[in-house]
Amino acid sequence: MSARWLGDDCSMEPTSHILLIAGSAEAHDIATRIAQNGQRMQAILRAPERSFGPLAVASQIWAPASLEDMKFFLTQQGITAICDAGHGFDSDVSDLAAAAAVDLGVAYARVLRPVWPVDLPLLRAGSVADAGALVLPGARVFAATGRGTVAQFAPFSGARLFLRQNSPNTRSALPDFVEPVFGTPPFTVAQEIALFEQLNIDTMICRNVGGAPSRPKLDAAREMGLRTIVIDRPAPPTGAQVLGSAQAALEWLDTL
């Protein structure tokens, strides 16, 4: 996959030593602080972000296709430390980065905020496909799992799947059972309740990303007594150091 620089100087030399894997709010906090203190950092993102705005350090759209791909990138860019603050569900990128770090002797840490506690009567699923299999016949389902997960809901046994999207970008057509719901976060609990009532939702599906900004939909569903299915976050790379906040990540980077 080719890279595209998102910084002011698209011809910058590979002088950064810290690689920030972005895709979370924590990544933006880390990048802002690093840009202020003068440490050398560059970032990669799997896809352009619409919710957070530009990163404070030079970034590019890129994701490794293999372990060798990741190792080549790290070597080429002269990376000596990886601060992995990617999206909590981008476990494939994290696993490749962690394995490459071990092979090359590069420092690595995964930044993951605490997940939400999930208790009965909430249902848990290991993947989007598993969550889709728990949908009851005739259900009107709201899902906040991303457009890229649509195929994992098929075959769909419910009546309608309302899928949250940030904007009505021109993209491929959605399946007949899917209806997009446009909106830009953050949302309040009251806003989520109003939306669920308007759409006559009886089932809500979301990923356990943790954190306060993404929680209102879960609190709204619980307050309304909706059938709620929460998808468990993938485990961090085996043996990797896990940091629970942007501040913890910055303190770790200071020790390098």
Looking at the structure, tell me whether residues 163 and 217 fall in a common domain. yes
Q: Does any domain span residue 10?
A: no
Looking at the structure, tell me whether residues 128 and 218 fall in a common domain. yes
* Burial status of residue 114 (CB atoms within 10 A of its CB: 0-12, 13-18, 19 or more): exposed
Q: Does any domain span residue 138?
A: yes
Q: Tell me how many domains the chain contains.
A: 2
The reported pLDDT for the residue numbered 50 is: 67
The reported pLDDT for the residue numbered 16 is: 53
**CATH number of the domain encompassing residue 91:** 3.40.50.720
Q: What is the DSSP letter of 137?
A: T
Looking at the structure, tell me whether residues 171 and 128 fall in a common domain. yes
Looking at the structure, tell me whether residues 107 and 49 fall in a common domain. yes
Question: What residues make up the domain containing 57?
Answer: 18-112+235-254
- Digit-by-digit pLDDT tens for the chain (256 residues) are 444 444 433 334 434 599 999 999 999 999 999 999 888 999 999 988 767 789 999 999 999 999 999 999 999 999 999 999 999 999 999 999 999 999 999 999 999 999 999 887 899 999 999 999 999 999 999 999 988 899 999 999 999 999 998 777 656 788 999 999 998 888 999 999 999 999 999 999 999 999 999 999 999 999 999 999 999 999 999 999 999 999 999 999 999 8
Helix/strand/coil for 67: helix
The reported pLDDT for the residue numbered 169 is: 67
126 contacts 232 by C-beta, under 8 angstroms: yes
- 59 beta partners: 43
**CATH number of the domain encompassing residue 130:** 3.40.50.20
Q: Does any domain span residue 6?
A: no
Rounded Cα–Cα distance for residues 221 and 225 (Å): 6
Radius of gyration of the chain measured on its C-alpha atoms: 19
Looking at the structure, tell me whether residues 88 and 145 fall in a common domain. no
Cβ-proximal residues to 164 (8 Å cutoff; 6+ apart), any chain: 142, 143, 144, 180, 181, 182, 183
The reported pLDDT for the residue numbered 55 is: 95
- CB burial of 54-69 (b: ≥16 within 10 Å; e: otherwise) equals ebbbbbbbbbbeeeee
Q: Does any domain span residue 3?
A: no
Tell me, yes or no, if the pTM score tops 0.85.
yes
Phi and psi torsions of 254, nearest 5°? -65, -20
Is the peptide bond preceding residue 117 cis, with omega within 30 degrees of 0?
Answer: no
Looking at the structure, tell me whether residues 190 and 222 fall in a common domain. yes
Q: Does any domain span residue 8?
A: no
